[in-house]
Structure 1
């Protein structure tokens, strides 16, 4: 049976407080599993407005109604309002997710700080940021994390090395390259081992192989604008041919206003014969396989601004 690995990035205080419980309820109702990756420090979403000079930023913001989905208050965190400490204020939401049977892992300490800085930072900065998240995770869950997924699909070589030091066996830190319609540029893209300057890391990478909702909403494909009424059907067309996929959701989107789209996807994937699983469940299928090795690579993806970790 082909699988859809559901990976949920939780970026904000609001997403943790409101989106996560909604997603737990929806997934339980549809007998779907998933991995929740939490931001564990302060929510400084407002700092992301500094990205206005990045190519493609305005296009993405206008297409995806950032204010509508994230809320005015969230966009003021770090600007006019102090950033709430997610890992302190949302302990119960995180623990409840674990008690409900879902795998939990690390997304980041401070989402905006990591996404905007990690590529150009060195060993000391990287170790500190990851160490803060690692320690907070253990405080909340009473055990070290088993998995990780980089904020904004942004990493550096030291960050990958740190995953190995933490003995994290599998992560989802990058993307498979996509065509403008969201289909895979390389139909064989999938899990791999990462290599940089001759060193092969131990941690298995599970790249996201499908476009995210915010990458598709508002774009035109074959003369038709993708909106909330047809986006699920477009994604289901991309999964019509059975194969394993990794799909990244956001608690701020699918866990709130775009929840009806998630429900349509879950029903559609069930009809297509897919099983929705966690990253941990997927790892059990991979641990004995000899996976391909790919070099660390950066590239731009359709519908997203800036370069990401991507399969070459």
Structure 2
């Protein structure tokens, strides 16, 4: 049976407080599994306004209604309002997710700080950020994390080395390359190991292979504007041919206003014969396979501004 790995990035305080419980309820209703990746430090979403000078930023913001999905209060955290400490104020929501039977892992310590800085930072800074998240996760759940998924698909070689030091066996930090219509540029893209040219990292990468909702909304594909009314059908077209996929969701989107789209997708994937599973289940299925090794590569993807860690499987 082909599988859809549901990976949920939880970026904000509001997403943890409201979006996560909504997603737990929806997934349980549809007997779907998933992995929740939590931001564990302060919510400095307001600092993201500094990205206004990046190419493509305003275009993406206008397409995806950032204010509508995140709310004005979230966009002021760290600027006009104090940044709430997610890992302190949302402990019960996180623990309830684990009690409900869902795998939980680390997304980051501080989402905006990590996404905007990690590529140009050194070993000490990287280790400090990751160690803080690791210790907070252990405090909340009483056990070390088994998995990880980088904020904004941003990493550096020190971060990959730290995953190995933590003993994390599988992570989802990268993206498979996509064509303009959202389909895979390389249909063989799947789990792999990363190399920096001298060293092959132990941690297995489970790359996201489908476009996210915020990458598709407001985009024209084959002369059709992608809206909330047809986006689920668009993604289901991409999964019509059976194969394993990793789909990244956001607690702030599918866990709130875009929840009806998730429900439509879950129905559609069930009809297509897919089983929705966690990252841990996926890793258990492929852990004994001989996996390819690819270099650390950066690339731009349709619908998203800036470079992301990309699977260079040519």
Shorter chain as normaliser: what TM range?
over 0.9
5 Å matches for 1:1-312?
A: 1-312=1-312
Distance 2:184 2:190 in 1: 10
Distance 2:17 2:127 in 1: 28
Secondary structure at the counterpart of residue 260 of structure 2: helix
Secondary structure at the counterpart of residue 42 of structure 1: coil
Q: In the TM superposition, what whole-angstrom CA distance separates every residue of 1:102-139 from its partner, at most 9, and x where no partner exists? A: 00000000000000000000000000000000000000
Normalised by the size of structure 2, how large is the TM-score? 0.99
Distance 2:238 2:112 in 1: 30
Distance 1:291 1:258 in 2: 35
Distance 1:269 1:198 in 2: 40
Distance 1:276 1:129 in 2: 31
Distance 1:284 1:61 in 2: 38
The number of equivalent residue pairs is 312
Distance 2:196 2:4 in 1: 28
Normalised by the size of structure 1, how large is the TM-score? 1.00
Residue 198 of structure 1: how far off its partner (Å): 1.9
Q: In the TM superposition, what whole-angstrom CA distance separates every residue of 1:181-229 from its partner, at most 9, and x where no partner exists? A: 1000000000000000221000000000000000000000111100000
Unaligned runs of 5+ in 2: none
Unaligned runs of 5+ in 1: none
Secondary structure at the counterpart of residue 209 of structure 2: coil
Distance 1:58 1:178 in 2: 22
Residue 305 of structure 1: how far off its partner (Å): 0.3
